[in-house]
Chains A and B, each alone.
Chain A
Amino acid sequence: MTTTENPTDAPVKEIGRDRRRKEDRRLITGRTQWTDNKALTGLLHIAIVRSPFAHATIKGIDTSAAKQLPGIVAVYTAADIGADQVQLPCAWPVTKDMRSPQRPALAGSRVNFAGEGVAVVVARSAAIAKDAAELVEVDYDELEPVLDMEEALKDGATLVHPDLGTNSNAQWVFDSGEAGSGGNATEAISKAESDDDQIVVRRRFRQQRLVPVFMEPRSTVVDPTGEQLVMWSSTQVPHILKTMLALTLGLPEHKLRVIAPDVGGGFGGKIAVAPEEVVTLLVSQKLGKPVKWTETRSESLLTAHHGRDQIQDLTMSVTKDGTITGLDVKLLADMGAYLGLVGPGVPILGAFMFNAIYKIPAYRFDCTNVFTTKTLTDAYRGAGRPEATFGIERLMDEAALELGMEPMEFRKKNWIKHDEFPFTTVSTLTYDTGNYEAATDQAMQMFDYDGLRKEQAERRKRGDVKQLGIGISTFTEMCGLAPSRVLGSLDYGAGGWETAAIRMLPTGKVEVVVGVSPHGQGHETAFSQIVADQLGVGFDDVEILHGDTQSSYRGLDTYGSRSLAVGGIAVVKAAEKVIEKAKPIAAHMLEASEGDLEFAAGKFSVKGTDKGVGIQDIALAVFAAHDYPEGIEPDIDAHATFDPENFSFPHGTHLCAVEVDTETGFVSMYKYVCVDDVGNVINPLIVEGQVHGGLAQGIAQALYEEAAYDDQGTLLSGTLVDYTLPSAADLISFDTANTTTASTTNPLGVKGVGEAGTIASTPAVVNSVLDAIRHLGVKDIDMPTTPYRVWSAIQNSSGTSGRADEANVASPGAGLGSTARDMPEGGNL
């Protein structure tokens, strides 16, 4: 892969080196600190009793049998610990009139999704707690489940929360005509309808519901025995969790400490103030003892938040020579039964991404968030941007098809040219840098695009059983969440800054305290590389401290590809302050004036002499503090907060080839090439790893995964037998590379890479599946494009498969081949 180049005349730069990770040693030897590893004297274990029904009132709970089991300490209903009165927080009220239900930590009188907690059992061991949970008798009165978003919005629909009077959570609209950033899309499309030189393309796409499936199940331990109440939790957001616990439960914030120890993946799924975290805390307070909760995988699939789940109605007007004139986006987004921490805002992030890399003169985005009696949805890798990218990149293919244009040529005709940056889009964002031509040229060449098209034509001609399909996705994303003022304008409940502090220890070693909170990204390695270059100290002399609100009291944690583009810049700013503070001390030690000093490679030198002093020596000098200038403090430690002025905009060209077995419907990956521009690269090894993992998750959405519910609201994919993650045998080796246009909005020129692979790959794969079998009359296939759906689509060759009709797109049993409703009934777009 190509990386940023280092100037050859400089000393060895850490930035750009493929350093092996500092984090690895503990992880490959089993010397780990997962939350569930935590053992404390007197530790009690809890198990949560959960509703088997999607929608029901609770008539009574009998805990007597459970309480009799030896080893049981207590059994609590919601009211016993006040869990029914809790209002778990939603930090993103997307509109002023957003309707927000109370979300309790345990349900008191009514359950609104299958899996909602109704009681908690406390025992000496986890096994006893689980045994006893089985003995808790709950008397339910079943209500109608609410499962279909379109039905849910109709008059007279059963209401998830009757007190809200509607199943609509909020409607969020952007209109470029009103915003002054473009024309009126409704008018543009209506004009195109009657214009012989234009066509109008309408499509409905379904973003199925997914589950993040971090490998480490969630776990929380709370110890109330010290002056500060300590919570260890498998979370991405220890700082947000701490502040939200204080606000939600009325606890004094300075009496709380939250620790995210080793965290085994998150992908957005651990951005939460989880009901179980609150229940663990309430039980520990009630009993005055340390308490642990660890979920099973089935519990995780059922109750940890889900992602995606949208119905997308898209309309594009385009001239017959291939110039887009308008885009209208209408979304329904399933919130599930309650609002998660940032859930309502997730689809809204898509508002800024549907226009993607294209010059679209008129744009309208209209999203309605809907309550259903399902597990709530919230952030999952990409959060709103994969949904938007899928929609636009599928639509680009569909429009190209109707125009009779080559899909890449159609994209080229409409994308922003490299000499047009910075470019302010129709959705009001300003893309600082990018070069779509360069990434595409390299990807096409690596992929052998023309060669594969030729092979495809030959297979077609021969009528091979295995047909080849080629799919494109040219994407961008907004990363580096986020400029605080922009978040404010979107009614988000917090800012988007990040903090870092640098402690210069007496022996010259360096502790860097960061507010971002890694769970696999390799922050310790990448940030050490940055600090080593900034301060001119050794890579191994730097320790990165994170994930404990006692050492790192200020931070906004890790999500939205922000750790490097925001957190990394805070580290740079803190290092600059260290150098600034050290300067007068260096001048004093060297008996020179500050103006004669220069700092390079860890050393202050007097210009034009060989006199100098290292920053690590200055650290020792201020520790001794025997001799330093008057009027300054003997301390070169520093603390910095960085608030970005703009998002960053990585982009890339992803090309996918699949083989589709036309007799069985089985899709196998054939070739995958992507060239991503993520700005300057700190560690190419880590960047490549992030892309690989992102691709796997995006491909999984296209081919394998779906959280499916039956018509009673029961989750059908509640184990890893049914929720089918790809294994090594399902995937291939990807061919990845980078082009680089440095971001101009931060001093490192970085853009972020955590979500790119996931955002870009899904439409490339689905476009390739359809490209393989479109000549057989297939028009669309819902995700995941399982063998059953592909086979059905070929058999019916009448259009959309996986969808019984337009009104019922939830497609129960989809992907499992278990219900007849998965069969298409000629439903055509």
Chain B
Amino acid sequence: MARIRTTVDGLVYEDDVEPRMLLVQYLRERLGKTGTVIGCDTSNCGACTVHLDGMSVKSCSVLAVQANGAEVLTIEGLERDGQLHPVQQAFHDNHALQCGYCTPGMIMQSIDLLGDNPDPTEHEVREGIEGNLCRCTGYQNIVRAVQDAATKMKPGAAPTAEAGAKQTVAGGGA
């Protein structure tokens, strides 16, 4: 067993974990953070994407011990005071989800993408979420949602949206 200390969605956790335990298993099985899901076993699908110190990672490809001392942000930590993150809101507004299973990972990856590229073209969005698979939507409305969120997160756009975006892109804002 190894002792780890992590901040997840703004709360500090200390736990003994098996060295082989994956971050996604730690989130789901130990912390009850079941908003983050597992869709494959070869790190192809991206359903388990979270932010680790502000960067998107597939949490099935990170050991829990590697998150020691780090800040983790999951889909469950995006909402602020009842206010959805602009990317969450854009997914809703653009019907960018159907069954919703890929959605947590897709949203976390989209936020990471917009952090790197605040004004992506359709092509850049498609390339940027290539590591996240969706079987329901054909991606079209996801692409729309990401571009819609980009517009709303631009400086000068709605102030609440901008503040929310800054906090999260910075890695949790805790």
Contacts and interface: CB of A to CB of B under 8 A. Distances in A.
A686 B141 CA distance: 11
A729 B140 contact: no
B38 interface: yes
Chain B interface main SS type = loop
A111 to B, nearest CB: 23
Nearest to A299: B41
B133 A725 contact: yes
Interface in A274-301: 296-298
Contact of B44 (A21, A34, A697, A720): A720
A134 to B, nearest CB: 14
B103 A37 contact: no
B37 interface: yes
B174 interface: no
B92 A25 contact: yes
Interface stretch (B51-59, B61-69, B93-101, B151-159): B93-101
A805 B99 CA distance: 41
B97 A720 contact: no
Nearest to A722: B42
A356 interface: no
A24 B92 contact: yes
Interface string A528-566: 000000000000000000000000000000000000000
Contact of A689 (B33, B75, B95, B122): B95
A734 B140 contact: yes
Nearest to A301: B40
A29 interface: yes
Interface string A231-267: 0000000000000000000000000000000111101
Nearest to B123: A729
A31 interface: yes
Given A213-B135, A297-B42, A23 B142 contact: no
Query: Size class of A's contact patch?
Result: 35 or more
A39 B31 CA distance: 12
A264 B130 contact: no
Contacts of A733: 122, 140, 143
B80 to A, nearest CB: 11
Interface in A25-41: 25-32, 34, 36-37, 39
Interface in A285-329: 296-298
A296 B42 CA distance: 10
Most buried by B among A217, A522, A694: A217
Contacts, number: 176
A731 interface: yes
B90 to A, nearest CB: 10
Given A216-B99, A297-B45, A689 B141 contact: yes
Most buried by B among A696, A727, A731: A727
A564 to B, nearest CB: 15
B141 A29 contact: no
Contacts of B132: 727-728
Contact of B76 (A24, A30, A685, A757): A30
A612 to B, nearest CB: 36
Interface in B121-174: 122, 125-127, 129-143
A214 B39 CA distance: 9
A215 B91 contact: no
A265 B44 contact: no
Interface of B: 18, 20-21, 25, 28-29, 32-42, 44-45, 47, 74-76, 78-79, 84, 88, 91-93, 95, 97-104, 107, 122, 125-127, 129-143
18 contacts: A28-B100, A30-B36, A30-B74, A31-B35, A32-B34, A34-B37, A36-B37, A125-B29, A214-B99, A215-B39, A215-B45, A217-B38, A520-B136, A693-B135, A728-B125, A728-B129, A728-B134, A728-B139
- Pairs A-B, 6 closest by C-beta atoms: A30-B35, A27-B100, A520-B99, A264-B101, A696-B138, A692-B138
